Amino acid sequence: MASFLVFEEKEVQKLVIVFITVFLAELGDKTQLATLLYAADQNTDKTAIFFAAAGALVLSTGIAVIAGAKLASILSPIVLKAVAGSGFILIGLWMLLQTIR
């Protein structure tokens, strides 16, 4: 077996956690709904939609990984988690306020 396919147990656990987190976060989000709408069009090739959506997700994920790695080299993990957590809280509060209005 190729050495790049050998993972330690902790690495496998992290991979599973990342997969489940991203999968659940993507369910019903704007990206999935947009893809659903494109696929609902009778005149569109479903294979093309799949590859276009998958390619876009791979590219945006690649950008996120590169940006995260760069930020991790500048900021401590604690600061990075605090900033990310604060961002999620602020977005949640903003969405809540938009709903209440």
37 domain residue, yes or no: yes
pLDDT, tens only, 17-57: 999 998 888 888 888 899 999 999 999 999 999 999 999 99
Spatial CA neighbour of 31 closest among 62, 47, 55, 48: 55
52 domain residue, yes or no: yes
**Total domain count for the chain?**
1
2 domain residue, yes or no: no
44 domain residue, yes or no: yes
Helix axes 46-74, 77-100, angle to 10 degrees: 130
67 domain residue, yes or no: yes
Domain boundaries, position 67 = 9-75
Overall pTM > 0.75: no
48 domain residue, yes or no: yes
43 domain residue, yes or no: yes
Question: Do 31 and 57 meet the contact criterion of CB atoms below 8 Å apart?
Answer: yes
4 domain residue, yes or no: no
